A and B are shown apart, each in its own frame.
Chain A
Amino acid sequence: MGTAIDGHLAAGRHAQAFDLIVPEYRDRVFRLACSILKDRAAAEDAAQETLVRVWKALPGFDGRAQLGTWIYAITRNTCLMELRKRKPTVSFDDPDSPEAQAAAARIATGPASDPEHDNLLRLLEALPTNQQQAVRLFYLEERSYEAVAEALEMPLGTVKNLLFRARRRLMELARPQEVAAA
């Protein structure tokens, strides 16, 4: 598929290339947007916007970067612009900070309609942004380290490390609740 797209691009057949790009990348773009925006509808809108931008910019694509890398970069930029439009939210990039600890405590004692899932998602929200994103994408990408690394444009080892630290931290955060529930 990549070869056919590259062939069309090299020949300046951008419309034909785009016809192949959409089925090849739309789901991956959507999943990456989901991992960043954490909202299905917003992610779908971002995927639309990303592909429209790809269509517009395709004649200027010079092939210096991999096509996938280029499309993922456009996706991330589109999602970041969407996030900037939203109201500012509190971010806990340091899970050991007093703010994050207090938030984790509030989360652990807060109401939940589905205690296990809701609490786990709330604990996930208390993790650093890059860990959250890696975890979400890991599950959206059927637990493929490689797919996460490609989408986030990170070395494989970095992705493994993020996933390791995120789950170890979630295990630590979840344990007091289990003890309390026992």
Chain B
Amino acid sequence: MNADRAYSSLGPCEGNEFDLVEYVDDACAPERRVALASHLQSCGRCRAFVDGIAAVTESLARALPPMALSPEFDAKLQDRIAGLARNAGREAARVNAEQEYRGALASLRRGFTWNAALDAVAAAAVGGGVVSAIAPRVLPALEFAQVSPATLSLGIGAAGLLAGLVAALALSRQPWPSPTG
């Protein structure tokens, strides 16, 4: 950094500072560059400023050398991504399994509901048959009620069917445990 000491007391011409830094960086417009080059030939203050900025710029370039990634950067990144992808795969599989489990439970619950209803209907039919078979024997005892065997068996069957449907409905509303607790 051997810039002209004149800069410290006078500095460049007013309004030129910013453009002169761009001049050093070779970043100003071509016409402006030509104009500045012409001006620098006759202006010691601006020339001193340019020399000073150029010296700082080059010193920084030496003090801040280019940096590059290490050769193992890509391999390390691939390992990390592969590990994350495996974990992501496991997580996706867990989510799928949970969804399947929930689906199976829902299906089972629907099946159970209908099975319970059918069971109740079957029980009611069997109960009605039994009552029909034994009704003539017990009818004398129920004579005072004036209930025919057919009506009695129909009533028992309907009561069984109703009980079965109520039980099925109650079971279908029971909460089911989650696989994760």
Contact = CB atoms under 8 A, between A and B. Distances in A.
Interface of A: 18, 22, 26-27, 30-31, 34, 40, 43-44, 47-48, 51-52, 55-56, 116-117, 120-121, 124, 135-136, 139-140, 142-143, 145, 160-161, 163-164, 167-168, 170-172, 174-175, 178-179
A171 B84 contact: no
- For the complex, would chain B's binding face be called helix, strand, loop or mixed by DSSP majority? helix
B69 A26 contact: yes
The 3 closest A-B pairs by CB, nearest first: A139-B64, A117-B63, A164-B21
Given A30-B69, A52-B84, A55-B81, 12 more contacts: A44-B70, A48-B73, A139-B64, A139-B66, A142-B66, A167-B53, A167-B60, A168-B53, A171-B53, A172-B8, A174-B1, A178-B2
Nearest to B74: A22
B96 interface: no
Nearest to B27: A145
Contacts of A143: 25
A130 B173 CA distance: 64
Interface in B51-94: 52-53, 55-57, 59-64, 66-70, 73-74, 76-77, 80-81, 84
Contact of A40 (B2, B3, B60, B67): B67
Contact of B73 (A47, A124, A160): A47
A179 B68 CA distance: 36
- For the complex, would chain A's binding face be called helix, strand, loop or mixed by DSSP majority? helix
B22 interface: yes
Contacts, number: 97
Interface in B1-37: 1-3, 5, 7-8, 17-18, 21-22, 25, 27
B67 A168 contact: no
Contact of A167 (B57, B67, B81, B84): B57
Interface residues of B, number: 35
Interface of B: 1-3, 5, 7-8, 17-18, 21-22, 25, 27, 52-53, 55-57, 59-64, 66-70, 73-74, 76-77, 80-81, 84
A25 B150 CA distance: 88
Which of A18, A47, A178 is most buried by chain B, counting CB atoms within 10 A of its CB? A178
A182 to B, nearest CB: 9
Nearest to A49: B80
Contacts of A43: 67
A167 B57 CA distance: 7
B154 to A, nearest CB: 64
A26 B73 contact: yes
A31 B1 CA distance: 27
A26 B67 CA distance: 13
Given A116-B59, A140-B64, A171-B53, A164 B73 contact: no
B56 A48 contact: no
A140 B57 CA distance: 13
A31 B69 CA distance: 9
